[in-house]
Amino acid sequence: MLYKKEYTDVLKEVDSSINGISEEEAKNRLNKYGYNELKEGEKTPIWKMFLENFKDPLVIILLIAAIVQMFLGEFVESLIIFVVVILNAVLGVTQTRKAESSLDSLKKLSSPNAKVIRNGKKSTIPVKELVVGDIVFLEAGDYIPADGRLIEAQTLKVVEGMLTGEAEAVLKHTDRIEEEVAIGDQRNMVFSGATVVYGRGTLVVTATGMNTEVGKVATLLESAGSKQTPLQQKLDDFGKKLGIIIMILAAVIFGIQVVRGYFAGNNFKSLIFDSFMFAIAVAVAAIPEALSSIVTIVLAVGTKDMAKRQAIIRKLPAVETLGSTSVICTDKTGTLTQNKMTVVDFYMYGVNKDEVIENRVDGDTKEQVEAINLGSTLCNDSEITNTGKEIGDPTEVALLRFATKRGIDYKEIREKYDRLNEIPFDSDRKLMSTVNAINGNAIMFTKGAPDVVFARSSKALNDGEEINITEEIKNKYREKNEEFSNKALRVLAFAIKDVPDENFVPCLEDEVDMTLVGVMAMIDPPREQVYDAVKEAIGAGIKTIMITGDHKTTAAAIAKDIGIMKDGD
């Protein structure tokens, strides 16, 4: 269990160092252990897929009926049955192959690279060429290319939903973990396929390809047996019962015909043959030859509709499973909501909010507004690229979008006011601070949890004027914080502090005696389609359950908004 060891011990275990491995050693390991990629199991041959379509009880009955009709001289009807059955099989094989080719195309869309140290120098290599012992650099926006033990983590936040199912980013560290923990709590490890959303880090690769945690999941999926859908189970059951009923019916008819012919004095040999043929004809007539075709066509139409909604169905019967849904359990963040935090409100003591929105502030008030603008853009590690790609923590991205919406160029601000030093965000103290050069002065900007910032502030800005903070001011901020929280809003508080000079290096003890500037409230808004989707689900008798790690007040507010929760629930 590598998370229980110091990273120096892990480096020794994988025969590597901080400076990575050599190119020659990398080639040797690549030849020995293979490429860093997930291996696919052998695909089912087309002939086998084709024959599997004939295992259905209804299809077997149809084939028997066709053969019997051939003996009865009904060649046209037999031919029609054979054609229909074969077309069904061809359609099933075609759909499966088409889905597989679509999945293969999706896999080929990304061919990421990794930043590593080889021969003591930084270089970029294809992810599939990574080997155990490689030192890999991570930054916001990167996909983690292999499992590894962290040897450096600067406020590194990673989303590991593909393994844990949790959409919230996890703050990583490099410390050894003493107790035995699950994957989701291995904070000093990172896993292949996860995404870096904040900060930066360095890892030593400890597993690649099928040996990664994702690779183990892939192995389980390959070995998992297939299970029939409810429709397949019902059709199988119907086919078996129908077969038995038809056989009993044919036997009864055969017996009645023989008895009637015997008392009528018919020739016994011809009587038996005629009675048998009549019973078989009745049995064939009772078989619903078109049922299999109708089911296949309906499933194919359903599959086509799903494809229009960007959902690839690999096997035809799978689309029917959705029709058997009675309960939908869904994650909140990123599924019901946009996973895109948006600033929707703010509060600054002594400042008229309407004047700020209408851009009518001036004098000292303007300085207070500018202070919160600088705090939200400078004490911030996120970024929005020229192409619109958002990099970093969704909360910080929301602050940048809010600034841009009000005509503030955050990139220009960052170029104008250099960051001199910083204290990265820490989940224990719930704060982040940066020191920036502002017009020849050095100022520390701090943002964080409202209760923490309130407690550490000794002064406050009142309409732009710095005054000693009073209980009245604190209570006003607390009331606003409570009001925002009851609306399911996430609140951040901002404070500033003058520091000696540009060489000042802040430490945790410096985050006191600050001047409170104001608070901003944001929310991860529900997706527009969710309201109708929930309404339709309820109308169809489907119960919808929202799963989230949010505080119950926040969760309840979102659930009521989208219609999952009603008054009294």
CA atoms within 13 A on the CB side of 448: 27
Map residue 209 onto helix, strand or coil: helix
User: Structure tokens of 24?
Assistant: 């020659």
Q: Is 182 exposed, middle or buried (0-12, 13-18, 19+ CB in 10 A)?
A: exposed
Q: Strand (E) positions, 211-341?
A: 327-331
Gap between the Cα atoms of 402 and 19, Å rounded:
42
> 532-537 — which CB contacts under 8 Å span 24+ positions?
534/562, 534/563, 534/564, 535/563, 537/328
**Which DSSP string corresponds to 62-125?**
HHHHHHHHHHTT-HHHHHHHHHHHHHHHHHHHHHHHHHHHHHHHHHHT---EEEEEETTEEEEE
381 annotated active-site: no
Containing 190, the helix (H) or strand (E) segment is strand 189-190
The three-state secondary structure class of 133 is coil
**Beta-carbon neighbour count of residue 500 at 10 Å?**
7
C-beta atoms surrounding 268 within 10 Å: 10
Catalytic residue among 331, 381, 393, 524: 331
Helix (H) or strand (E) holding 431: strand 431-438
Q: Which among 130, 173, 171 has a CA at the least distance from the CA of 151?
A: 173
Residues with active-site annotation: 331
